[in-house]
């Protein structure tokens, strides 16, 4: 519970401004909750760049059917491998910040899909600032009344695939 409050507080104080375009017939409450879950993910992602993985653990479903296809070319199935990838990424301490733009949500009662660009910058392995502009698709599922990420797929980032 304490970790959830910390992560929630970080979302409130995050400088990221979200403008989610809603395109399906889900309830307004579900649309708002999916937008909030997306905001949690991007807050957690930017924290990951500083080496902190705790909030990312809160965003994701911990089920065996989650999938992550990351900017390094990874293609992972199941919570344990996905968590290991997030921990590996946190250890890189990539620095910088990535923000979503052109967010579009398609939401049903239990599943939602978000498409957007991720734009910003990180520090590459060679210490140089690397610009980021990639496409991303995120999938969320309502679990016990909360929207949890069950999939994230991005374009490749050349500085991570070398």
Number of Cβ atoms within 10 Å of the Cβ of 160: 19
CATH number for the domain whose boundaries are 20-161: 3.10.450.50
Domain segments of the chain: what residues?
Answer: 20-161
Q: What is the pLDDT along the chain (162 residues), one digit of tens a residue?
A: 555 544 654 444 443 445 676 555 567 888 899 999 999 999 999 999 999 999 999 999 999 999 999 999 999 999 999 999 999 999 989 899 999 999 999 999 999 999 999 999 998 778 899 999 999 999 999 999 999 999 999 999 888 876
pTM, two decimal places = 0.85
- With CA atoms as reference, report the closest residue to 125 among 96, 160, 151, 91: 160
Rounded to whole angstroms, how far apart are CA atoms 15 and 110? Answer: 29
Q: Can you read off the two tokens belonging to residue 135? A: 């496409």
Q: Which of 148, 118, 146, 105 is nearest to 49 (CA)?
A: 118
Nearest to 39 by CA among 147, 159, 154: 147
């Amino acid at each position: 519970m304490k970790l959830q409050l910390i992560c929630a507080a970080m979302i409130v104080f995050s400088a990221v401004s979200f403008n989610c375009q809603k395109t399906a017939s889900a309830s307004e409450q579900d649309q708002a909750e999916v937008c909030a879950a997306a905001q949690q993910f991007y807050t957690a992602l930017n924290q990951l760049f500083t080496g902190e993985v705790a909030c990312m653990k809160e965003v994701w479903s911990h089920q065996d059917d989650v999938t992550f296809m990351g900017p390094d070319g990874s293609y992972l199935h199941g919570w344990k491998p996905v968590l290991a990838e997030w921990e590996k990424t946190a250890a890189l301490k990539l620095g910088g910040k990535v923000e979503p733009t052109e967010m579009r949500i398609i939401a049903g009662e239990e599943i939602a899909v978000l498409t957007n660009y991720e734009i910003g910058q990180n520090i590459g392995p060679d210490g140089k600032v690397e610009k980021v502009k990639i496409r991303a698709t995120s999938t969320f599922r309502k679990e016990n009344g909360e929207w949890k990420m069950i999939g994230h797929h991005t374009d490749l980032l050349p500085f991570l695939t070398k």
